[in-house]
Chain A
């Protein structure tokens, strides 16, 4: 459904993504893995059509991503995108205006489950609370693809359970979820495929259950091996 083909992205003199190709298929949950600067966020921004490829393309049902794909691809960025005057509840209204597929009732349920006070000022939220708010906004859309950039960053141990349940709840046979996270051990029980990146290059695509069955290794083990 979302096909990355020979994608190259250069910033100034630096190559952030160097000729990578891989498919994202519906019904699967992907984990993007790689050290800082490996190109994970660059790929997500390109797939979300917020950044243009230098060459190559990301295709949504055969057409380069753009205005149309944005209606069906939900993206949770690493940085806050809310206006400082907003309270938590305003974010729901803002997203309702912005996205046709936004489910306000689900958003309200999620902020309650994640213990975000509806009347709190967005600018007063801690970084972890802000991450929860961004996640709630991203997964309250009835999208076909969810791109979640570091959804667990800054989120304390107690709240992680609610966050991960929220992520699992959007998985279905006709959606795809792509997560980037350094917390491999936290997410490896529910991701179906790992995509390993390093220095903008694609190293390997691994089916997680297949890896465990074939080699008796965890994703974290495989990550350490590949990055040595």
Chain B
């Protein structure tokens, strides 16, 4: 993963993991890597990896089970909550950039009308019930 070195690394890894959950690549109840393995996977300090899990726990995304490791919470609504959180984030920054360019809401909406959403990405998602 390519980091933006001017932003806190732990936040970037938290976002990356939430994105994996939102995309269905990590599922509720799944065991997450140990801090050491997370550090190796993202090329971060093991202390940063521990902090990532603290934040995910505080955000009610993960839970640590004594002696066995950290798991994604077994919560069926987690996927939709993560999707919403991610979508809010992307939309917020898009709207901010468009506002900087001087676009008003109705102009943004009209602009979006002309764009197609590619099918490939969402087709990776598990069936939504």
Residues of A within 8 A of B (CB): 27-29, 164-165, 168-169, 171-173, 185, 188-192, 208-209, 212-213, 216-221
Contact = CB atoms under 8 A, between A and B. Distances in A.
Determine which residue in A212, A218, A219, A220 has the highest number of CB atoms from chain B within 10 A of its CB, and name it: A212
Determine which residue in B6, B40, B45 has the highest number of CB atoms from chain A within 10 A of its CB, and name it: B45
Interface stretch (B7-15, B60-68, B69-77, B120-128): B7-15
A212 B39 contact: no
A218 B6 contact: yes
Main secondary structure of the interface of B (DSSP, over half): helix
A212 B46 contact: no
A219 B45 contact: no
A189 B6 contact: no
Interface residues of B, number: 18
B10 A209 contact: yes
Nearest to A165: B40
B6 A29 contact: no
Contacts of A171: 39, 45-46
A95 B45 CA distance: 28
Contacts of A213: 8
Contacts of B54: none
Given A171-B39, A189-B3, A192-B45, 10 more contacts: A28-B47, A29-B45, A165-B43, A168-B39, A171-B45, A185-B5, A189-B43, A192-B47, A209-B48, A219-B5
Contacts of B7: 212, 216
B32 interface: no
